[in-house]
């Protein structure tokens, strides 16, 4: 064990002290999250340099990972209890069950509509930048990745649309509460809705028992939300650790070799953020107000690369900062973690499809081929895993369906983590945009599920 590595680790933990003081001196979480992000970038860059000086950086990153990965694990721990209790609470408090259907349809319409737009964006940007699979070099890591992808494709290639939809229905709710499947979040949402509808039936038949159920659910919600706020207090330190590890592990040589793809990906993602802003603007909502409120959530999504882990912060921000109905916030955050992800399920598979199709002589702007690609992307966006690697799963579904090889996903492995950060932030922003627009469209009707009666411009 090197003395230099111990000193660097001690310096890292020392910097958490001023971050903690800054955090305690602010009423808002946002400044501390931003400070943690900046410290992570600086420390990660320094560690990247220090590794070249012979410092044992892997030893340091093992301890840094204890903070970052431990924080992400705590958030994953929250996801299922939060989704179950909050969706159940939203249904139990409803006075008109038709409003639940309207909320679901509205949220899904935004998620899937923006996914279709993101697919078109991916095609346009890939063509604009002249991206192609020709010339990509397959090294040892890429070859190993191809083997993994070939094994995974055997599990997903034969799935039909009815089979994918059937997977949303839980056969064992305890297994889904443990997150055993890619579609566990959706399965828990459906179970919570059914359980809530059963509670409404009890309330109609026996008001006294119905009131007892509602009181129990209300206590459970308050308990879970206290736990959420307790864990959210560690966000600046988790972000600092996650960003430090990411920057320290990045291979700048690999990024330079695939710079064109990296740049094209970030341009497409940035333009989709603009599309979200325009959708808000057209509906009378200030994009500046929106992004000022949600950027701490985007920073965490960027750092963690996990839409699912961001659900607790997503829900809390929608309710507390954007003043969105709890029912809408929970539905949009839960659905957005596994359905219609603009970055992972929209842009990424569309760009890969173009990169493979062009060398094969396929005219990507042929209306039939393009519409087929968009339809496949939108349909396959159901059930995309809300954790790092969800984009690869989307590619494994889309590319074979379009008759294209999947090996290209392995050839981009070296730059995947960096791009996946931005894609995850876009996924989460799409979920919050869906919640915001749904609140605007439904207005006071959404308050029948227990939410506030207005949305500030």
CATH number, domain of 364, equals: 1.10.3860.10
410 band by pLDDT with thresholds 50, 70 and 90: low
Instruction: Give the structural domain span for 137.
Output: 3-449
Find the range with the poorest average confidence among 352-356, 389-393, 444-448: 444-448
For the chain, give the longest Cα–Cα distance: 74
Query: Tokens standing for 170?
Result: 């839980």
Query: Tokens standing for 394?
Result: 């989307």
In-domain check, residue 333? yes
pLDDT at 453: 37
pLDDT at 148: 47
360 band by pLDDT with thresholds 50, 70 and 90: confident
DSSP secondary-structure letter at 130?
T
Given a cut of 60, whether residue 102 has pLDDT beyond it is: yes
Task: Report the percentage of the chain scoring pLDDT > 90.
Answer: 23
Axis-axis angle for helices 207-232, 184-205 (nearest 10): 150
CB 154: neighbour CB atoms within 10 A? 10
298 band by pLDDT with thresholds 50, 70 and 90: very high
pLDDT at 384: 63
pLDDT at 286: 95
In-domain check, residue 314? yes
- Mean pLDDT over residues 182-193, rounded? 81
In-domain check, residue 39? yes
- Mean pLDDT over residues 292-313, rounded? 85
- Mean pLDDT over residues 178-202, rounded? 84
Find the range with the poorest average confidence among 247-261, 304-318, 325-339: 247-261
In terms of Cα–Cα distance, which of 382, 290, 280 is closest to 337?
382
In-domain check, residue 454? no
> Per-residue DSSP letters for 202-224?
HHHH-HHHHHHHHHHHHHHHHHH
In-domain check, residue 457? no
In-domain check, residue 419? yes
The pLDDT tens digits of the residues spanning 81-97 come to 877 887 788 788 766 66
In terms of Cα–Cα distance, which of 50, 73, 298 is closest to 12?
50
CA 406/CA 392 separation, integer angstroms: 9
Given a cut of 50, whether residue 456 has pLDDT beyond it is: no
Task: Report the percentage of the chain scoring pLDDT > 70.
Answer: 82
How many structural domains is the chain composed of?
1
CA 433/CA 277 separation, integer angstroms: 9
pLDDT at 89: 80
Which position has the higher pLDDT, 420 or 148? 420
78 band by pLDDT with thresholds 50, 70 and 90: confident
Given a cut of 60, whether residue 391 has pLDDT beyond it is: yes
pLDDT at 135: 55
The structure tokens 């699912």 sit at 308
pTM, rounded to two decimals: 0.74
pLDDT at 399: 80
In terms of Cα–Cα distance, which of 439, 82, 149 is closest to 290?
439
Which position has the higher pLDDT, 261 or 142? 261
- Mean pLDDT over residues 220-230, rounded? 84
CA 101/CA 107 separation, integer angstroms: 10
- SS3 letters for 352-397? HHHHHHCCCCCCCCCHHHHHHHHHHHHHHCCCCCCCCCHHHHHHHH
The structure tokens 């159920």 sit at 213
The pLDDT tens digits of the residues spanning 5-56 come to 888 889 989 988 888 887 787 766 778 878 888 898 899 888 888 887 888 8
pLDDT at 331: 86
Burial (Cβ within 10 Å: 0-12, 13-18, ≥19) of residue 51 = middle
Asked whether the beta carbons of 315 and 227 are under 8 A apart, the reply is no
What average pLDDT is seen over the chain?
Answer: 81
Given a cut of 60, whether residue 454 has pLDDT beyond it is: no
Asked whether the beta carbons of 452 and 329 are under 8 A apart, the reply is no
CA 245/CA 59 separation, integer angstroms: 12
Among the ranges 27-41, 81-95, 251-265, 341-355, which has the highest mean pLDDT value? 341-355
In-domain check, residue 455? no
pLDDT at 264: 92
pLDDT at 139: 45
Given a cut of 70, whether residue 339 has pLDDT beyond it is: yes
- Mean pLDDT over residues 368-380, rounded? 88
DSSP secondary-structure letter at 68?
H
Given a cut of 60, whether residue 442 has pLDDT beyond it is: yes
In-domain check, residue 295? yes
pLDDT at 336: 87
């Amino acid at each position: 064990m090197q003395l230099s590595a111990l000193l660097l680790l001690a310096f890292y933990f020392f910097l958490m002290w001023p971050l903690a003081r800054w955090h305690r001196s602010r009423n808002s979480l946002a400044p501390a999250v931003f400070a943690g992000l900046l410290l992570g970038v600086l420390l990660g860059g320094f560690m990247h340099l220090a590794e070249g000086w012979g410092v044992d950086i892997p030893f340091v990153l093992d301890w840094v990972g204890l903070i970052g990965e431990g924080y992400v694990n705590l958030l994953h721990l929250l996801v299922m209890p939060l989704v179950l209790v909050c969706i159940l609470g939203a249904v139990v408090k409803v006075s008109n069950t038709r409003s639940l259907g309207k909320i679901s349809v509205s949220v899904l319409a935004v998620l899937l509509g923006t996914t279709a737009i993101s697919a078109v964006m991916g095609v346009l940007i890939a063509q604009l930048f002249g991206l192609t699979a020709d010339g990509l070099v397959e090294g040892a890591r890429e070859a190993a990745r191809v083997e993994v992808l070939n094994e995974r494709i055997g599990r997903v290639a034969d799935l039909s649309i009815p089979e994918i939809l059937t997977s949303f229905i839980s056969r064992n709710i305890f297994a889904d509460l443990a997150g055993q499947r890619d579609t566990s979040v959706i399965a828990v949402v459906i179970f919570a809705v059914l359980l809530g509808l059963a509670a409404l039936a009890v309330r109609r038949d026996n008001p006294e028992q119905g009131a007892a159920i509602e009181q129990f659910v209300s206590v459970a919600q308050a308990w879970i939300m206290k736990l959420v706020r307790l864990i959210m207090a560690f966000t600046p330190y988790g972000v600092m650790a996650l960003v430090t590890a990411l920057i320290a592990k990045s291979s700048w040589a690999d990024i330079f070799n695939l710079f064109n793809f990296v740049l094209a990906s970030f341009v497409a993602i940035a333009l989709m953020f603009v599309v979200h802003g325009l959708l808000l603007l057209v509906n009378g909502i200030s994009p500046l107000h929106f992004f000022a409120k949600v950027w701490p959530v985007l920073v965490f999504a960027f750092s963690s690369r996990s839409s699912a882990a961001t659900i607790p912060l997503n829900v809390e921000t929608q309710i507390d900062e954007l003043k969105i109905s709890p029912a809408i916030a929970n539905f949009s955050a839960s659905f957005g973690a596994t359905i219609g992800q603009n970055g992972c399920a929209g842009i990424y598979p569309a760009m890969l499809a173009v990169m493979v199709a062009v060398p094969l002589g396929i005219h990507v702007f042929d209306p039939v081929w393009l519409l087929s690609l968009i339809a496949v992307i939108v349909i396959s966006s159901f059930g995309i895993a809300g954790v790092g690697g969800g984009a690869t799963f989307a590619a494994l579904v889309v590319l074979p369906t379009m008759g294209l090889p999947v090996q290209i996903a392995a050839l981009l492995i070296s730059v995947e983590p960096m791009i996946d950060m931005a894609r995850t932030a876009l996924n989460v922003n799409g979920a919050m945009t869906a919640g915001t627009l749904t609140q605007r469209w439904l207005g006071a009707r959404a308050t029948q599920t227990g939410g506030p009666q207005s949305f500030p411009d």
